[in-house]
Structure 1
Amino acid sequence: MNDTPGWASPGSAPSDGRDPGASDPADRPTGPQPADQPDPNPQSPGTKWSNEQPPPAPWSAPAGPQNPAQPPPPPPPGPGWGGRPPAGPGGYGGRPPGPGGYGNHGGYGTPGWGSGWGGPPPAVKPGVIPLRPLGVGEMLDGAVSTMRTYWRTALGISLTVSIVFEIAAVLLQGLVLDDALDTSALGDTSSSLEEQTRAMGDVMRSSGLLLLISMLAVLTATALLAPVVSRAVLGKPVTLKEAWRDARPQIPRMLGLTLVLLLITAGVAAVCVLPGILVAASGSADGGAALISLGVFGATGLVLWLVVRYSLAAPALMLEKQGIRKSLSRSAKLVRGSWWRMFGIQLLAVIIANIISVIVVVPFALLGAALSDAGIGGLVDAGSDYGWTYLIVGGIGSVIGSMITLPIAAGVTVLLYIDQRIRREALDLDLARAAGVQGYGSPGTTSGG
């Protein structure tokens, strides 16, 4: 036991030892003693405790005369987790308190925590996004804000890309796919399993080629729009001429990146369908067709994984001025550990873009079908051939739809690249300095990471 009052219980000895010759407290008579009668068990000289001890209650020094019948007041509550810190110069962070809660520089002297533990402070926002890790809604809003603020530049680039790739898609479908593919078996209930399987394979190959053209269009638009989005993040104006001047030195590398990704995709697809082709060539047509269909499904999954893995290669190539191989490795590094997040955000952007595109394209498709020989009723016929009229009118609608949706999809991809670099490389500090934000990242301010 310690000799400090408050640790030793009232009435106990000041130490664990006992004076020799001291009697047992149980032998001491209880009750009040007459004033003229001496105590039969006087205290030993070593005992320093009085016979009258305070009641067994929390011990605090009396502040003045108190009523014996009134219970002692409860101790004052200490500062809780949600309370304000002591006011005064310095506080918890060495700064005087201000209207923001824990001082003018929230938290324990850092900005913006508000009253109590209210959350992180708002980040600096010189352009279309705040300079901190982004949420899905902020990326979509940033992409739309970029298109709305820089609509002349963004729509000019997307219109050019849409026209080029839509012409390629129309020519491919009109000159090659409509003659080489036979899908009439899908609408014929009397067709055999082999015929239906072959027709399904033709549909998947046709759809795969058109989807590949669409993906290349998005990749090209992402590369060309990356300088526009980067200027929008900094809040700086950009014209179509300035965007072209920034992108022009990287155009050859961008075309090389597109070719490399096309070869990778074609190689994966060839490897997946090669077993089915070999089995069909050996004489087993049914088994070969089944293996080809299975290979197409497998190729679709692998291509999807590669597309997400290398989806940030175009922004890395254009904004970091990297080569093709370095851009691919940078994309793989930034996506590593976040593949499902990247996939989900880009899938959401594609769904939104496709909804907008369908709203624009469907009227043109109906008009093209009405002007063709098959008529609108032929839309439900799997074997109908609309011809060039339908392809051209539908292609015009696709160009208009792509002109609107490509900046959204490309903007989300570029903002994903910026978000990943903010999370992993503190890019927000460089962006703040480039935007001219004074004191960003210094002690007492909030880092965007």
Structure 2
Amino acid sequence: MKDTPGWASPGSAPSDGHEPGTSGPTEPTDAKPAETAAPDGSAQPTAASDPAQPTQQPSDTSQDAGAKWSQEQPPAAQWSAPTGPTAPGQAPPPPPAPGGWGSQPPAGPAQGPGWGGGYAGHPGYGGWGGPPPAAKPGVIPLRPLGVGEILDGAVSTMRTYWRTVLGISLTVAVVTQVLVILLQGFVLDDNAGSEALSDPSASADEVTRALGETMVSTTVVFLISLIGTVVATALLTTVTSRAVLGRPVTTGEAWRDARPQVPRLFGLIFLLLLITFGVLAVGALPGILVGVAGSKGGGIALAVLGILGASVVALWLMIRFSLASPALMLEKQTIVKSMSRSTKLVRGSWWRVLGIQLLAGIIANIVAAIVVLPFTFLAAALSGDGVGGFVNGTGDLGWTFLIISGIGSVIGSMITFPISAGVTVLLYIDQRIRREALDLELARAAGVQGYSTGATPGS
């Protein structure tokens, strides 16, 4: 990612012994302006003539005129339009600035704010090319971020601090996946539920029992994965916040910094899940009551409509509270205050936050699916009835399938954890930069020069 503007190379230095700012003849002359013959034979006024030099007569040959034309050109990089005659008693116009027309000022020592309105430490900015680029001590520039910069910052954090990031993601993913495999292999019976649901001749009691077992299995796996996600998010939030300042952090340091807030983070996630399921239950309640009253068809239709409407409300609330996790971890806030902070930061930017979160989720899951699917089909081919049995839902999902597919899930989690956590943290930082000028505090914390005087380049 390139943050500096595309400067052209500065103009060449003045030649022929002329110094910048040196004027032409200081004494007025009463002589007629000297004329030289252009290559086409026409007389042209000379841009810089010497009064002591004899005036060229029009009777010179074209060869001599051509020679003098080439000799009397202005020095390189100082060309200016030909000027008219200088009136007696009037000083000739000053020579053009070094570097020629349209060139940038030459590089030199750092100039202060008086240089064309530029910023301290950035010579030549201001009147020439606008404000200087924002400081970038870490993975993002310290200014309001674009969508691409947020995604790039999350990936850059994973690439720059890959030992810490991948170490955290791998540890959390391995622990959670081992628990899931053990539960699915010894406790949860997914095969019985799958067979009953795929059997057209199954009775209503068998289908109900299969649905219940499937829901229990899915809920247990979801809770274990959620615990792993919360822990990974807590640790990776610390890593990303340090990466913004350009400071590395070890896994132990990340854990020591995040450990006091981990219980609150679990409470926050639990409260958000409770709000989501509560909103959905309220939406489905009218349909359930109508169905209990005797109108099963109307009750089902009303319940479906109520759940759809409640899903919209739940999504709206989840986006409003989506920045509560980094607020809780980085500001050391309580659960309620972190939710309030998220609401204030998201207000007026709901669609933007939704779009960035959705885009990051799609990208992370596509990359993870590219990794997980080959392992899943390989596991199906090496166990039970092969890929055909897996696709039809009749295959035996034994230990071979669970272990091989679990390896793919671990690799996929190593990709999704850093991206999702990094994007959330950088979104939080971006919103605070836009609303609270957090870039000033971050620059001071990173030791960037010039921010102590109130300069805000790039913001």
Q: Give the TM-score band, short-chain normalised.
A: 0.5 to 0.7
Match of residue 349 from structure 2: 338
From 241, 263, 268, the equivalent of 1:257 is 268
Match of residue 144 from structure 2: 133
Q: Is 1:408 matched up with 2:419?
A: yes
Match of residue 422 from structure 1: 433
Q: 1:173 to 1:235 in 2, by over 3 A?
A: same
Gaps of 5+ in 2: 1-84, 89-100
1:151-191 CA distances to partner (integer Å, 9 max, x unpaired)?
Answer: 12111222233245445665787756847966977897x99
Find the aligned partners of 1:384 and 1:280 in 2 and give their Cα distance.
Answer: 37
Q: 1:206 to 1:135 in 2, by over 3 A?
A: farther
How many aligned positions are there?
A: 355
Find the aligned partners of 2:213 and 2:458 in 1 and give their Cα distance.
Answer: 50
Counterparts in 2 of 1:21-420, with a 5 A limit? 99=107, 108-110=117-119, 111=122, 114=125, 118-166=129-177, 178=190, 217-381=228-392, 386=397, 389-420=400-431
Gaps of 5+ in 1: 1-61, 66-82, 88-96
Offset of residue 380 of structure 1? 3.5
Q: 1:392 to 1:303 in 2, by over 3 A?
A: farther
Q: 1:349 to 1:415 in 2, by over 3 A?
A: same
Find the aligned partners of 1:287 and 1:202 in 2 and give their Cα distance.
Answer: 28
Offset of residue 304 of structure 1? 2.4
Tell me the amino acid that sits aligned with residue 160 of structure 1: T
Q: Secondary structure at the match of 1:266?
A: helix
Contact 1:201–1:293 under 8 Å retained in 2: no
Find the aligned partners of 2:334 and 2:386 in 1 and give their Cα distance.
Answer: 50
**Fraction of identical pairs, as percent:** 64
Contact 2:194–2:393 under 8 Å retained in 1: no
Contact 1:315–1:414 under 8 Å retained in 2: yes
Q: 1:439 to 1:116 in 2, by over 3 A?
A: closer
Offset of residue 382 of structure 1? 5.6
Q: Secondary structure at the match of 1:262?
A: helix
Offset of residue 278 of structure 1? 2.9
Find the aligned partners of 1:214 and 1:155 in 2 and give their Cα distance.
Answer: 17
The higher radius of gyration belongs to 1
Offset of residue 402 of structure 1? 0.5
Find the aligned partners of 1:383 and 1:279 in 2 and give their Cα distance.
Answer: 38
1:215-258 CA distances to partner (integer Å, 9 max, x unpaired)?
Answer: 66545432221111111111112111111111111122112112
Find the aligned partners of 2:234 and 2:449 in 1 and give their Cα distance.
Answer: 30
Q: Secondary structure at the match of 2:451?
A: coil
Find the aligned partners of 2:181 and 2:229 in 1 and give their Cα distance.
Answer: 17
**Superposition TM-score, scaled by structure 2 size:** 0.65
**Superposition TM-score, scaled by structure 1 size:** 0.67
1:296-318 CA distances to partner (integer Å, 9 max, x unpaired)?
Answer: 43343333222221111111111
Find the aligned partners of 1:299 and 1:213 in 2 and give their Cα distance.
Answer: 26
Contact 1:308–1:339 under 8 Å retained in 2: yes
Offset of residue 418 of structure 1? 0.5
Find the aligned partners of 1:173 and 1:261 in 2 and give their Cα distance.
Answer: 27
Q: 1:265 to 1:161 in 2, by over 3 A?
A: farther
Tell me the amino acid that sits aligned with residue 258 of structure 2: A
Find the aligned partners of 1:448 and 1:172 in 2 and give their Cα distance.
Answer: 52
Tell me the amino acid that sits aligned with residue 235 of structure 2: L
Offset of residue 441 of structure 1? 5.4
Tell me the amino acid that sits aligned with residue 397 of structure 1: G
Tell me the amino acid that sits aligned with residue 346 of structure 1: Q
Q: 1:348 to 1:98 in 2, by over 3 A?
A: same
